[in-house]
Amino acid sequence: MTLITIALAAPPSLDELSAAWDTNKLSVASKSIQSIILEPGDLETVAKGKIGRRRIAEVGPDRVMAIAWTPTARGGVWVAIIDDIHGKMVSSLSEKRLGRNELDQKLLYQHLSLPWPVTNRQWVIKIWNNTLLADATDNGVWERPWDLADPALMDQPDPTALWIPMTNGSWFLMDAAGGTLVIYTARSHIGGAIPYELVTQWALATIDEMMSHVLERAAELHHHYIPGHEPIVGGDNQPIPFYDDGKGQDGPKE
């Protein structure tokens, strides 16, 4: 487990975090799209006010995971993740929305710029809300999974970039200790001659950047997610309330 310190409000205790996880872990194991099982050290890291990151061994490419706690309400963190059109989570990754907007799902073309002489990569993914998990946890856990979709959905791809053969993952958001426990997992194989191990190491090296970006942006949404913004639904497919006046009043409560 690698530790990244985050400057947030005083973190909750290990007992508080464990109580939230224990309430939902069986449903997460059975109803999530990308199942996640926490190790004892994961919540211990979060209770110290740090972002934890580690790799999870699987057949083929390993999965990488990041975990953190924020005092921001779950709805605010969810908006920061869903409303990604306004900010990059990783600097070398660009994306374009495909098709018509759907409140609970979307299609994205994504393009990864890699250092020369490595060929750039591209892919199309479907992202959706796992409402079965929300229902199974009495709306206590939201999951936003993704998986590869048909490359033909992108009508103007990069003719010089390679299409990747695999990527999937999830964001998990759980109410915990008056804030939100945030878990991110991802697993990718980018094809070509690049070994699995290099891909996993790169993902592990950048996962804290992505998590930090989301947490920082979530804390600033009272300036952005206000009336006039496109409505965003939560992991239960219900609309997340706007911040009423742009000064942090009202807004996401979940």
List the domain boundaries for the chain: 2-86+131-147+167-223
Give me the residues of the chain with pLDDT under 50, please: 1-5, 7, 246, 248-250
Choose which CATH entry (1.10.1040, 3.30.70, 3.40.50, 3.30.530) describes domain 2-86+131-147+167-223: 3.30.530
Q: For residue range 198-242, what is the model confidence (pLDDT) as tens digits?
A: 888 888 888 988 899 899 999 888 888 889 888 899 999 999 999
Q: For residue range 81-91, what is the model confidence (pLDDT) as tens digits?
A: 988 655 555 66
Q: What was the pLDDT predicted at 95?
A: 87
Question: Using CA atoms, how far apart are residues 35 and 32, in angstroms rounded to an integer?
Answer: 5
What are the angstrom distances between the C-alpha of 107 and each of 72, 100, 233? 27, 9, 16
